[in-house]
Structure 1
Amino acid sequence: MDTPVSHADRRPAPALLTAILCAAALAAAATAHARDSGPDTDLSVPDAAGAAPALVPVIPAPASHFQDSEVDQDILLPPARPQDDDPDRKWSRDYLALAAGVVTVPSYLGSDQRAVIPGFYLRGRLSGFSFSTRGTNLQVDLIRQRRGQRVDWKLGPIINLRSDRTGRIKDPQVEALGERKLAVEAGISAGVTYSGLITSKYDQIGFRVVALKDISGRHGSWLASPTIEYGTPISKRAYVGLSASVNVYGKGFGDYYFDIDQAGSDVSGLPVYDGAGRKATAGKYTIGAAGAYSLSGDLRKGFVLIGGVQYGRVASRYAASPIVRIAGDADQWIGGAGIAYQF
């Protein structure tokens, strides 16, 4: 269901959103969406993330894997459509989608250096209950999806691993500030999607909100990310999606990842800064686009090529942090490509 420098903020690149577009897994999701909603006949003319927008894990060195809600993996992950080929089925079709690819991301949130990381994605639905991994988070929709419904409400738990600045920090000044510990966050993801809005009965517009709270005692704070997304199939084998989001962070988040105390200033050479932790802040805005192309001729099954790009802007008190303003860059780009399989 939604998305809101200097080398010191190593972005939890392995993917909180996070969301945005985060390529590989992201676009895979789009295919999953198209599969559920895929048209039964060819669409010869143009007919569009909970949570959902991100992409991806592998465990050693969390900072090297795509992660969390910081990356909007939902750009191609609008809630799956309810259409089903079986008229006697009560719930929407069961399915499973797997994706793998590569993603290029800032080395940490606010960094001006990049990393290329693997991306993986899993999404599915069983007896009307949907689930998905978006980067290093897992979420489940507890509202069952009925076959044929145009309005789909979503609500369920989400758990996320945040690995921002947990290792492999390239900038010497940011590295001197010390690594951060892996944070475990839990919360809820809620939203609604409406199908058949503009181009055909298969396009979708959705709104979602993800709210997370640190339960590991790392940053000890919270974050919320509202996202709006639109996606449509342009034929039976091609799909495109757009997404926009904002990330709002609590005071503890800014203090842990962006503020610099006197001791940190002494060892890093960066000036003392305490602005990020003074109050809750809309710290990042993102927009993204992605697409999927079926190799089998039908987005609902078989192999699908996926890709996307996302632009993010670190803002306000976060952009003023020396970690961003001096050692990094407020402009944040993410891009990737991969292949998905739907069955």
Structure 2
Amino acid sequence: MNTMQMLKLTVLACGAAGAVLLAPAHQAGAGGMLELEMDTVPTIIGVAVGALPDYRGSDDYTFGFAPMIRYTFSGQERYIQLMANELTINVFDDKMFRFGPLANYHFGRTDSVDDPMVSKMHEIDDTVELGAFADIVWTLSDDPRHRFILGAKLYQDVGNESDGFRANVGFRYWLPVAKPVDLNLSAGFIYQSDDYANHYFGVNADNVGSSGLPFFNAGGGVNEYYMVVGGLFYLNKNWLMTVGVRGSVIAGDPADSPIVDQRGDATQWIGGIGIGYAFW
């Protein structure tokens, strides 16, 4: 596995670590992001391994690993989190509301993908996205682990790659089923602008290369629906293990793109397992 493949798999990062897909990374070169979310743990470092599509829309899969770090300020709700390729900062010191900036390193699509035709298309360069996120958190019982979270993220390309934007809206539900076990169910949808959708799913004279794929113009809209099922296991006071599986369906114009409909699959899977160490 080359360095770029390993970096792309930061999208899994502790996503295997369990939890939720808050906002899929939506790389051209990867399928999404499972996201570690341990709100009841002040500071944690972790690493995870897992599998995800070779590129978004691919039916080939690859493997890798990646780290994550979350630091919560003492006595506050504010935190800084590096989840694989995405940095978020919560500026609200409030148990119910979270809000802050985000920065995401958005991977492109290389010519090293397994599909023999897609690999002949021109590469899509990596880029940087900036944006913001917001969450509303409801604690559903005396146990702070039992919670429902409604969240949204907005990403704008600032690296002159697609010049488009995307947004994720979804919920995450956490249910403690035993003292050492939390279960998670999450779901949501992804909206993409026309520029973003056509850049990563379109086929035209600028990117077709020698692939021979038919030309296709991809419009924006709600272009993906997803669900995540995960579990968080407290091995002891400091060590935690997580597992997660994310299934999604590419919809709208991107589902009809030749790189998905002819060369890949609109149904996408990501799964992994991770371990973290908590500092109390």
TM-score class, shorter-chain normalisation, is 0.7 to 0.9
Q: CA deviation at 1:117?
A: 1.0
Q: CA deviation at 1:263?
A: 5.8
2:128 to 169, 175, 184: 184
Cα deviation code 1:101-125 (max 9, x no counterpart):
2110001110010000113211120
Query: Cα gap change, 1:282/1:54 in structure 2, threshold over 3 Å: closer, same or farther?
Result: closer
- What is the one-letter code of the residue matched to 2:193? G
Report 1:58-97 matches (<5 A): 71-74=32-35, 77=37, 80-81=39-40, 95-97=42-44
> Which protein is richer in strand relative to its size?
2
Corresponding residue for residue 118 of structure 2: 174
- What is the one-letter code of the residue matched to 2:80? F
Corresponding residue for residue 104 of structure 1: 51
Secondary structure of the residue aligned to 2:227 is: strand
Corresponding residue for residue 224 of structure 2: 284
Asked if the contact 1:102–1:118 (Cα under 8 Å) also holds between the matched residues in 2, the reply is: yes
TM-score, normalised via structure 2 length: 0.87
Give distance in 1, aligned partners of 2:118 and 2:56.
12
Give distance in 2, aligned partners of 1:285 and 1:170.
25
Q: CA deviation at 1:100?
A: 1.0
| Structure 2 residue ranges without an equivalent (≥5) | none
Cα deviation code 1:119-141 (max 9, x no counterpart):
32111201421121222010000
Q: CA deviation at 1:27?
A: 5.3
Corresponding residue for residue 132 of structure 1: 81
Corresponding residue for residue 61 of structure 2: 114
Q: CA deviation at 1:245?
A: 1.5
Give distance in 2, aligned partners of 1:288 and 1:322.
27
Corresponding residue for residue 9 of structure 2: 14
Cα deviation code 1:161-181 (max 9, x no counterpart):
111314531112111111111
Count of residue pairs the alignment pairs up: 271
Moved over 3 A (4+): 27-30, 51-55, 199-202, 262-266
Secondary structure of the residue aligned to 1:208 is: strand
Corresponding residue for residue 6 of structure 1: none
Corresponding residue for residue 277 of structure 2: 341
Secondary structure of the residue aligned to 2:117 is: helix
1:193 aligns with 2:137: yes
Secondary structure of the residue aligned to 1:261 is: coil
| Structure 1 residue ranges without an equivalent (≥5) | 1-9, 31-48, 56-61, 82-92
Query: Cα gap change, 1:144/1:262 in structure 2, threshold over 3 Å: closer, same or farther?
Result: same
Q: CA deviation at 1:200?
A: 5.2
Secondary structure of the residue aligned to 1:234 is: strand
The two structures, once aligned, show a CA RMSD in angstroms of: 2.6
Secondary structure of the residue aligned to 2:188 is: strand
Give distance in 2, aligned partners of 1:29 and 1:153.
22
1:234 aligns with 2:194: no
Give distance in 2, aligned partners of 1:105 and 1:27.
11
Q: CA deviation at 1:25?
A: 0.6
Q: CA deviation at 1:251?
A: 1.0
Q: CA deviation at 1:330?
A: 0.5
Give distance in 2, aligned partners of 1:342 and 1:162.
28
Q: CA deviation at 1:72?
A: 4.0
Q: CA deviation at 1:53?
A: 4.6
Cα deviation code 1:175-196 (max 9, x no counterpart):
1111111110000001111002
Corresponding residue for residue 317 of structure 1: 253
Q: CA deviation at 1:214?
A: 0.4
- What is the one-letter code of the residue matched to 2:170? T
TM-score, normalised via structure 1 length: 0.72
Q: CA deviation at 1:201?
A: 5.5
